[in-house]
Amino acid sequence: MKKILFTALSAAALLANPYESNKEELASVVKTGQEVSSALLKTLGKNLQQHMKAEGPVGAAEFCSTKAYALTADVDEQFGQDVHVKRISLKERNPANLAEGKEKAILQSLETLQQNGVVLPAYLVERVNKETYKYYKPLLINKQVCLKCHGDISGDRKLSQFFEKTYPNDKATGYKFGDLRGTIVVTIKK
Ligand code: HEC
Protein backbone atom coordinates (compact mmCIF):
# COMPACT_ATOMS: atom_id res chain seq x y z
CA MET A 1 0.00 0.00 0.00
CA LYS A 2 2.75 2.39 1.05
CA LYS A 3 4.67 1.58 -2.07
CA ILE A 4 1.67 2.27 -4.32
CA LEU A 5 1.10 5.60 -2.64
CA PHE A 6 4.76 6.51 -3.04
CA THR A 7 4.69 5.60 -6.74
CA ALA A 8 1.55 7.65 -7.27
CA LEU A 9 3.13 10.63 -5.56
CA SER A 10 6.34 10.49 -7.56
CA ALA A 11 4.37 10.13 -10.79
CA ALA A 12 2.42 13.26 -9.84
CA ALA A 13 5.70 15.06 -9.10
CA LEU A 14 7.08 14.04 -12.49
CA LEU A 15 3.99 15.20 -14.29
CA ALA A 16 3.94 18.55 -12.52
CA ASN A 17 5.08 21.44 -14.64
CA PRO A 18 8.55 22.41 -13.37
CA TYR A 19 7.59 26.03 -13.92
CA GLU A 20 4.33 25.74 -12.05
CA SER A 21 3.94 28.89 -10.00
CA ASN A 22 2.17 29.37 -6.79
CA LYS A 23 -1.19 31.04 -7.07
CA GLU A 24 -0.29 34.21 -5.18
CA GLU A 25 2.79 34.82 -7.29
CA LEU A 26 0.82 34.39 -10.49
CA ALA A 27 -1.96 36.67 -9.23
CA SER A 28 0.59 39.36 -8.43
CA VAL A 29 2.18 39.01 -11.90
CA VAL A 30 -1.25 39.43 -13.52
CA LYS A 31 -2.00 42.44 -11.32
CA THR A 32 1.28 44.16 -12.24
CA GLY A 33 0.83 43.27 -15.92
CA GLN A 34 -2.65 44.78 -15.92
CA GLU A 35 -1.52 47.95 -14.15
CA VAL A 36 1.46 48.52 -16.44
CA SER A 37 -0.38 47.76 -19.68
CA SER A 38 -3.33 49.99 -18.71
CA ALA A 39 -0.94 52.83 -17.85
CA LEU A 40 0.76 52.45 -21.24
CA LEU A 41 -2.48 52.24 -23.21
CA LYS A 42 -3.85 55.26 -21.40
CA THR A 43 -0.81 57.44 -22.16
CA LEU A 44 -0.54 56.35 -25.79
CA GLY A 45 -4.30 56.57 -26.38
CA LYS A 46 -4.65 60.02 -24.84
CA ASN A 47 -1.75 61.42 -26.83
CA LEU A 48 -2.88 59.83 -30.08
CA GLN A 49 -6.38 61.24 -29.65
CA GLN A 50 -5.11 64.75 -28.88
CA HIS A 51 -2.75 64.84 -31.83
CA MET A 52 -5.25 63.34 -34.29
CA LYS A 53 -7.73 66.03 -33.29
CA ALA A 54 -5.26 68.91 -33.42
CA GLU A 55 -3.07 67.94 -36.38
CA GLY A 56 -4.72 65.09 -38.29
CA PRO A 57 -3.07 61.79 -39.29
CA VAL A 58 0.28 63.14 -40.52
CA GLY A 59 0.87 65.29 -37.43
CA ALA A 60 -0.25 62.44 -35.16
CA ALA A 61 1.98 59.97 -37.03
CA GLU A 62 4.88 62.36 -36.64
CA PHE A 63 4.14 62.61 -32.95
CA CYS A 64 3.99 58.78 -32.62
CA SER A 65 7.23 58.37 -34.53
CA THR A 66 9.14 60.66 -32.22
CA LYS A 67 7.31 60.07 -28.92
CA ALA A 68 5.57 56.65 -28.73
CA TYR A 69 8.83 54.92 -27.88
CA ALA A 70 9.80 57.57 -25.33
CA LEU A 71 6.34 57.46 -23.71
CA THR A 72 6.73 53.68 -23.39
CA ALA A 73 10.16 54.19 -21.80
CA ASP A 74 8.58 56.66 -19.32
CA VAL A 75 6.00 54.09 -18.21
CA ASP A 76 8.79 51.51 -18.00
CA GLU A 77 10.75 53.76 -15.66
CA GLN A 78 7.74 54.60 -13.54
CA PHE A 79 7.32 50.94 -12.48
CA GLY A 80 10.90 50.39 -11.30
CA GLN A 81 13.77 48.12 -12.18
CA ASP A 82 12.00 44.77 -11.91
CA VAL A 83 9.37 45.65 -14.50
CA HIS A 84 9.89 46.29 -18.20
CA VAL A 85 7.31 47.17 -20.80
CA LYS A 86 7.38 47.25 -24.57
CA ARG A 87 5.16 46.70 -27.59
CA ILE A 88 5.88 43.97 -30.12
CA SER A 89 4.50 42.95 -33.49
CA LEU A 90 5.19 40.39 -36.22
CA LYS A 91 4.65 43.17 -38.76
CA GLU A 92 6.45 46.00 -37.05
CA ARG A 93 6.65 49.63 -38.08
CA ASN A 94 9.50 50.57 -35.77
CA PRO A 95 12.21 47.86 -35.97
CA ALA A 96 12.76 48.34 -32.23
CA ASN A 97 9.33 46.74 -31.71
CA LEU A 98 10.20 43.50 -33.49
CA ALA A 99 9.25 40.39 -31.51
CA GLU A 100 12.31 38.44 -30.44
CA GLY A 101 12.97 34.84 -29.36
CA LYS A 102 9.92 33.06 -27.98
CA GLU A 103 7.84 36.22 -28.32
CA LYS A 104 7.61 35.49 -32.03
CA ALA A 105 6.19 31.99 -31.49
CA ILE A 106 3.71 33.35 -28.97
CA LEU A 107 2.50 36.05 -31.37
CA GLN A 108 2.23 33.46 -34.12
CA SER A 109 0.17 31.19 -31.85
CA LEU A 110 -2.19 34.06 -31.07
CA GLU A 111 -2.53 34.77 -34.77
CA THR A 112 -3.30 31.10 -35.50
CA LEU A 113 -5.88 31.01 -32.72
CA GLN A 114 -7.55 34.11 -34.10
CA GLN A 115 -7.54 32.76 -37.66
CA ASN A 116 -9.32 29.67 -36.31
CA GLY A 117 -12.11 31.72 -34.83
CA VAL A 118 -10.87 31.90 -31.24
CA VAL A 119 -11.75 35.05 -29.34
CA LEU A 120 -8.36 35.99 -27.93
CA PRO A 121 -7.89 36.11 -24.15
CA ALA A 122 -7.29 39.45 -22.43
CA TYR A 123 -3.80 38.30 -21.44
CA LEU A 124 -1.32 35.40 -21.39
CA VAL A 125 1.47 34.72 -18.92
CA GLU A 126 4.75 33.09 -19.91
CA ARG A 127 6.98 31.70 -17.19
CA VAL A 128 10.41 32.59 -18.56
CA ASN A 129 12.42 31.11 -15.67
CA LYS A 130 12.20 30.72 -11.92
CA GLU A 131 11.92 34.40 -11.19
CA THR A 132 10.89 35.99 -14.49
CA TYR A 133 7.49 36.19 -16.12
CA LYS A 134 6.19 37.85 -19.25
CA TYR A 135 2.66 39.19 -19.31
CA TYR A 136 1.28 39.58 -22.86
CA LYS A 137 -1.69 41.74 -23.67
CA PRO A 138 -3.03 41.22 -27.23
CA LEU A 139 -3.59 44.50 -29.09
CA LEU A 140 -6.23 44.38 -31.77
CA ILE A 141 -7.13 46.87 -34.46
CA ASN A 142 -10.15 47.66 -32.34
CA LYS A 143 -10.88 51.26 -33.33
CA GLN A 144 -11.52 52.77 -36.74
CA VAL A 145 -8.77 55.30 -36.07
CA CYS A 146 -6.12 52.53 -36.06
CA LEU A 147 -6.89 51.91 -39.74
CA LYS A 148 -5.92 55.48 -40.65
CA CYS A 149 -2.28 54.54 -40.07
CA HIS A 150 -2.33 50.72 -40.12
CA GLY A 151 -5.00 49.95 -42.76
CA ASP A 152 -4.91 50.66 -46.48
CA ILE A 153 -3.17 54.04 -46.44
CA SER A 154 -2.59 54.34 -50.18
CA GLY A 155 -5.38 56.94 -50.45
CA ASP A 156 -3.53 59.39 -48.20
CA ARG A 157 -0.46 60.45 -50.18
CA LYS A 158 1.02 62.70 -47.52
CA LEU A 159 0.74 60.01 -44.88
CA SER A 160 2.16 57.26 -47.14
CA GLN A 161 5.08 59.53 -47.98
CA PHE A 162 5.69 60.25 -44.33
CA PHE A 163 5.76 56.53 -43.49
CA GLU A 164 7.99 55.69 -46.47
CA LYS A 165 10.46 58.33 -45.39
CA THR A 166 10.39 57.62 -41.66
CA TYR A 167 10.08 53.82 -41.75
CA PRO A 168 11.62 52.51 -45.00
CA ASN A 169 10.83 48.93 -43.91
CA ASP A 170 7.35 49.62 -42.55
CA LYS A 171 5.33 46.39 -42.37
CA ALA A 172 2.46 47.78 -40.33
CA THR A 173 -0.13 48.57 -43.00
CA GLY A 174 -2.87 46.57 -44.69
CA TYR A 175 -4.60 45.56 -41.47
CA LYS A 176 -8.36 45.01 -41.28
CA PHE A 177 -10.65 45.85 -38.40
CA GLY A 178 -10.33 43.21 -35.66
CA ASP A 179 -6.87 41.95 -36.75
CA LEU A 180 -4.23 41.20 -34.14
CA ARG A 181 -1.75 44.05 -34.37
CA GLY A 182 0.70 42.82 -31.71
CA THR A 183 0.93 42.69 -27.96
CA ILE A 184 2.18 44.66 -25.02
CA VAL A 185 4.83 42.65 -23.18
CA VAL A 186 5.43 43.33 -19.51
CA THR A 187 8.48 41.48 -18.19
CA ILE A 188 8.25 41.05 -14.43
CA LYS A 189 11.02 39.84 -12.11
CA LYS A 190 9.86 38.36 -8.82
C1 HEC B 1 -1.58 58.64 -36.55
C2 HEC B 1 -1.10 57.36 -36.99
C3 HEC B 1 -1.35 56.16 -36.11
C4 HEC B 1 -2.54 55.71 -35.59
C5 HEC B 1 -3.90 56.35 -35.75
C6 HEC B 1 -2.25 54.48 -34.89
N7 HEC B 1 -0.91 54.19 -34.97
FE8 HEC B 1 0.01 52.54 -34.24
N9 HEC B 1 1.83 53.28 -34.83
C10 HEC B 1 2.01 54.48 -35.50
C11 HEC B 1 3.43 54.74 -35.59
C12 HEC B 1 4.08 55.95 -36.23
C13 HEC B 1 4.08 53.67 -34.93
C14 HEC B 1 5.58 53.49 -34.71
C15 HEC B 1 5.94 54.13 -33.38
C16 HEC B 1 7.40 54.10 -33.04
O17 HEC B 1 8.22 54.45 -33.90
O18 HEC B 1 7.72 53.74 -31.89
C19 HEC B 1 3.04 52.78 -34.47
C20 HEC B 1 3.28 51.61 -33.79
C21 HEC B 1 2.30 50.77 -33.27
C22 HEC B 1 2.58 49.55 -32.53
C23 HEC B 1 3.97 49.02 -32.14
C24 HEC B 1 4.50 48.01 -33.09
C25 HEC B 1 5.14 48.58 -34.34
O26 HEC B 1 4.64 48.25 -35.42
O27 HEC B 1 6.12 49.36 -34.25
C28 HEC B 1 1.36 49.02 -32.22
C29 HEC B 1 1.14 47.72 -31.45
C30 HEC B 1 0.35 49.91 -32.73
N31 HEC B 1 0.95 50.96 -33.38
C32 HEC B 1 -1.01 49.70 -32.58
C33 HEC B 1 -1.98 50.65 -32.92
C34 HEC B 1 -3.38 50.51 -32.59
C35 HEC B 1 -4.02 49.31 -31.89
C36 HEC B 1 -4.00 51.66 -33.02
C37 HEC B 1 -5.43 52.06 -32.82
C38 HEC B 1 -5.87 52.21 -31.44
C39 HEC B 1 -2.96 52.50 -33.63
N40 HEC B 1 -1.75 51.85 -33.55
C41 HEC B 1 -3.20 53.73 -34.23
C42 HEC B 1 1.02 55.28 -36.01
C43 HEC B 1 -0.32 55.19 -35.70
Tell me: pLDDT of 27 over 80.
Answer: yes
Is any ligand 1 atom within 6 A of the Cβ of residue 134? no
Point out the ligand 1 atom lying closest to the alpha carbon of residue 51: 1
Q: What spacing in Å lies between the alpha carbon of 113 and ligand 1's midpoint? A: 23
pLDDT value, residue 1 = 52
The pLDDT of residue 22:
86
Give 116's DSSP letter: T
* pLDDT at position 52: 97
CA of 68 to the centre of ligand 1 (A): 8
Would you say the CB of residue 107 lies under 6 angstroms from ligand 1?
A: no
- CA 182, 184, 189, 190 dihedral sign is negative
Contact yes or no for 8/16 (Cβ under 8 A): no
Indicate if ligand 1 lies below 6 Å from the C-beta of 67: no
- Tens digit of each residue's pLDDT (9 = 90 or more) over 102-148: 999 999 999 999 999 999 999 999 999 999 999 999 999 999 999 99
| pLDDT value at residue 18 | 58
Answer yes or no: are the C-beta atoms of 180 and 140 closer than 8 Å: yes
Q: Whose CA is nearest to atom 9 of ligand 1?
A: 64
Is there an atom of ligand 1 within 6 Å of 184 CB?
no
In the structure, what pLDDT confidence band is assigned to residue 14 with cuts at 50, 70 and 90? low
